Amino acid sequence: MINLRFFARLREELQTGSETMEYSSETQTVEAVVAQLKSRGGSWSDLFGDGQTVLVAVNQEMCDRDSSISDGDEVAFFPPVTGG
Amino acid sequence: MINLRFFARLREELQTGSETMEYSSETQTVEAVVAQLKSRGGSWSDLFGDGQTVLVAVNQEMCDRDSSISDGDEVAFFPPVTGG
Amino acid sequence: MNQIKVQTEPFDMAAIQEALRRSSAGIGAVVTFVGQMRDINEGDAVTTMTLEHYPGMTEKALQAIVDEADDRWDLMGIHVVHRVGPLQPLDPIVLVAVASAHRGEAFQACEFVIDYLKTRAPFWKKEQTPEGERWVDARHSDDQAESRWKK
Amino acid sequence: MNQIKVQTEPFDMAAIQEALRRSSAGIGAVVTFVGQMRDINEGDAVTTMTLEHYPGMTEKALQAIVDEADDRWDLMGIHVVHRVGPLQPLDPIVLVAVASAHRGEAFQACEFVIDYLKTRAPFWKKEQTPEGERWVDARHSDDQAESRWKK
Domains in chain B, CATH or no CATH each: 2-78 (3.10.20.30)
Q: How confident is the model at residue C34 (pLDDT cuts 50, 70, 90)?
A: very high
Give yes or no for B18 touching D (CB within 8 A): no
Across the interface, of D25, D29, D110, the residue whose CB is closest to C90 is D25
What angle separates helix D103-120 from helix D140-147, to the nearest 10 degrees?
130
Contact C115, A77 (CB under 8 A): no
**pTM value?**
0.96
Question: Residue D39 has what pLDDT?
Answer: 95
Residues of C in contact with D40 (CB under 8 A): 25-26
Residue spans of the domains in chain D: they are 2-146
The CATH code of domain C2-146 reads 3.90.1170.40
DSSP state string for D51-65? EEE-TTHHHHHHHHH
Question: Residue A28 has what pLDDT?
Answer: 97
Low-confidence ranges of chain D (pLDDT < 70): none
pLDDT in tens, B38-70: 999 999 999 998 888 999 999 999 999 999 999
Asked whether the beta carbons of residue C38 and residue D31 sit closer than 8 angstroms, the reply is no
CA distances A38 to A18, A34, A41, A42, A47, Å, are 16, 6, 6, 9, 8
Question: Residue C3 has what pLDDT?
Answer: 98
**Average pLDDT of the segment spanning C54-68:** 98
Give yes or no for C36 touching D (CB within 8 A): yes
**Average pLDDT of the segment spanning A14-19:** 98
Distance from CA of B36 to the nearest CA of D (A): 23
Question: Residue B80 has what pLDDT?
Answer: 97
ipTM: 0.95
Taking the C-alpha atoms of residue C61 and residue C116, their distance in angstroms, rounded to an integer, is 9
Asked whether the beta carbons of residue C53 and residue A83 sit closer than 8 angstroms, the reply is yes
Strand pairing class (D132-135; D123-129) = antiparallel
Across the interface, of D40, D102, D114, the residue whose CB is closest to C103 is D114
Mean pLDDT across chain C, nearest whole number?
A: 96
Number of residues in chain A: 84
- Best of D34, D36, D148 to substitute, by most chain C Cβ atoms within 10 angstroms, is D34
Question: Residue D88 has what pLDDT?
Answer: 96
- Best of C32, C91, C110 to substitute, by most chain D Cβ atoms within 10 angstroms, is C32
**Average pLDDT of the segment spanning C36-62:** 96
Q: Is the dihedral of CA C14, C15, C19, C22 positive or negative?
A: positive
Question: Residue A52 has what pLDDT?
Answer: 87
Strand pairing class (C3-7; C78-83) = parallel
**Average pLDDT of the segment spanning C2-15:** 97
Q: Is A42 helix (H, G, I), strand (E, B) or coil?
A: helix
Contact B18, B6 (CB under 8 A): yes
Asked whether the beta carbons of residue C122 and residue A9 sit closer than 8 angstroms, the reply is no
